[in-house]
Amino acid sequence: MQERTHIPNFDRLSIITAMVLLAYALTVFIHIPESTVSVQLPGFLLEFKLNLVTIVSVLVAILAASGTEWLLSTHPRISGNNRIYHWLLPSLTAMVIGVPLGTMQPGTTWWVLFGLGGLLFSAVLTSEYISVDSKDERYSLSVIGLTAVALALLLILLISLRGGGFRLFLVLAATIPATALISARCLSLRLNGRWLLPEAGVVTLIVAQLAIGLYYLPLSPLRFGLLLIAVVYGLVSVTAALEESHPKRSLWTEPSIMIVALVLIAIIVRQPLH
């Protein structure tokens, strides 16, 4: 099997990253009053808080998706039927970067996280570019990196939802689509581009049911996120192993080790409930 090496266009990669970072940098100098959007439904009232960081995060996600398409268009092995799948992680990465930046006051720590966010976003774009070609000699490394980033982003989202004191319907409204997208992408990465949407739906259903139960327990945000990530990782690993027809003896080895490790970390770690 002949292996190939493809390098993303550095100019395009730099422009996309700079545009995303510029959008977040402008939030330091522009101030818009926070507003609340209320929707009255039969039996209860829905309230959503909108601020500048929230608006910018959504716009940046769209910018990241279009930028990813622009970068991938230079790949010699890209095809028309799989481009949209490569937009998911860069868009989610660009959006999640705004989570810590929106909760901190501008200062040294803010700018350090700002720079690290830019490096992370560039790394995700590069990995997505490499993952287009399964015969690229760095494909395995890109799969490992993208899977780790995907689960880390989901963990950050879960911690933020729990720590933000959101009501259950808002937690589920964010957890369900994020889990579905990330589990589907992780499966596709492990299976060389095959998409198992029904299986990803099953993973999402199980995680949503577990999230409802954990929501009412006195768990810290970090423990809440770690327990759910352990389930997502375990289910994705088992599903991928079944599709690859792994021997039954080794089928549960990796998922079991990681689930036990994450659960132990969740038990050992100490963090205030709020």
Q: What is the pLDDT along the chain (274 residues), one digit of tens a residue?
A: 455 567 777 888 899 999 988 888 887 777 777 677 666 656 666 666 667 777 888 889 899 989 988 888 887 777 666 677 788 888 888 888 877 777 677 788 888 888 888 888 898 888 888 887 777 778 788 888 888 888 888 888 888 888 877 778 778 888 898 899 889 888 888 887 777 888 889 999 999 999 999 988 888 888 899 999 999 998 888 888 888 777 766 677 777 888 888 888 888 876 555 5
Is 238 within 8 Å of 255 (Cβ atoms)?
yes
132 and 1, same structural domain?
yes
Start-end of H helices in the chain:
10-29, 52-72, 88-103, 108-130, 139-163, 168-190, 197-215, 221-243, 248-251, 253-268
Residue partners of 244: CB distance under 8 A and separation at least 6: 190, 191
263 and 179, same structural domain?
yes
Residue 152 lies in a domain: no
pTM of the full structure: 0.79
The torsion angles phi and psi of 44, rounded to 5 degrees, stand at: -160, 165
Residue 33 lies in a domain: yes
Residue 157 lies in a domain: no
**What total of structural domains would you count in the chain?**
2
214 and 92, same structural domain?
no
Domain that holds residue 56: 1-137
Dist CA 35 CA 114 (whole Å): 25
